[in-house]
Structure 1
Amino acid sequence: MPRWALLADVHGNRLALAAVLTDLGQRKVDQIINLGDSVYSVLQPRWCAEQLAQVANISISGNQDRILFEDVAPEQQNLSYRFVQADLGPNERNWLANQPATAIVDDIFCCHGTPSSDTTYLLEHVTPHGVLLHSEKAICVAIQGISQSLIVCGHSHIARTVQLSNGQLIVNPGSVGIPAYNDDQPYPHIMEAGSPHARYAIVERNAQGWQVEHYAIGYAWQQAAATAQRNGRENLARWLQTGRAQLDD
């Protein structure tokens, strides 16, 4: 059976992606699945799109890939949106525009958020008091109709492996490029990995079922943070340096 590398939420972080691809080169991976949000940041979106287009066997769109092709009013275009739009070339834009929202390969279902929404966390439940792991019942509702034994997702930037009682396994590899962030929907909350490492996962099926390996890769995150700061995103610089976020970012 093939060994699949799972990458998600690269967010244009060239240094992190390069470190992950170097690490992957030592692990005899057969194919690479890219789970979306490949470029959105003030880092190096064009380079990351070029690399992912070359190395990923499967790539799907994330919410912050999709938004690049929507009619966003000028007053709603943030710094990252404008930076990515200016940096991408026609080849990278075409690659992003043609990515599906979901994909199925072998016995693996690939989505960015949930099978029906690229803006909803599959494994996390946001409450007014913080972020919790979803109940199995809520997860099963979200994946209703999905028959594949392995479901892989991104979006939350948090590495998790969740086993369901029906035998299905769900894996989020965590974020290659941004280890923490804050959001205000549906309630103000933070997502944080707790360290600056670039994260990815490898999955492989054997006689015992799906085996999952999660990796946290060191790279020059101080340099990435300096780029974010130089390009006007001090909050991103802090996230990159620490893997931590705060609600008032």
Structure 2
Amino acid sequence: MSEKVALVTGAARGIGLATTKLLIEDGWRVAMIDRDADELSLASKGINGASPFVHDVSQPDDVDAMIDAVHASFGRIDAVVNNAGVADFGPIEETDFARWRRVMDTNLDGVFLVSQAAIPALKETKGALVNIASISGLRASTLRVAYGTSKAAVIQLTKQQAAELGEYGIRANCVCPGPVRTKLAMAVHSQDIIDAYHDAIPLNRYGSEREIAEVITFLCSDKASYVTGQVIAADGGFDSTGVGLPALRS
């Protein structure tokens, strides 16, 4: 069994939780990070090999404390999965600066802060950064001026990290999930949206959290030892079609 350690942000639910479980199946130990203490406590119960840490990735001092706590607990960090994010959608004319900053604080600043703080530990292990962006960072869509822009910036940040950190043996890659069948998505997507996605996605379905986690876990692993600076759309072919969805315009 590997003794490698992964730090996963936004680990209390969704893709972060699915990634945590899959990494543990593959022999990793996992530091589960989330700012929702109650949800994190529930999610981490019964997961052997994982430890919960309550921190907010948008706060610089809290991020430094988080890295110190994880390193003190596990002794090393081999991979960082920057998954924490907020989904705040709305028309462009209704997006004020407060909403813009709320999205950027977590989706972009959080990725930057966690990555920067983890660099010394990743240098020691020649580890991996895996940043979770979105299909919305690759193709424009309505209601996503802040969200889509934040995710596009994460894609560019990943490329910068790959270019500058490669000399230390640190790999940096980005995963862009397409529509995923999460509880949140199913709660807010109307039947028209569900039907439109079905028609627009070449595989004719939403992805699962586990399917996204499989890509993330691969990029963390030694199987991807010569893969860096890549942006992988795990989206059922949605990006390749380049067609907008009328059902998402309101």
TM-score range (shorter-chain normalised) is 0.3 to 0.5
Give 1 or 2: higher strand fraction: 1
Say which structure is richer in helix: 2
TM normalised by structure 2 equals 0.35
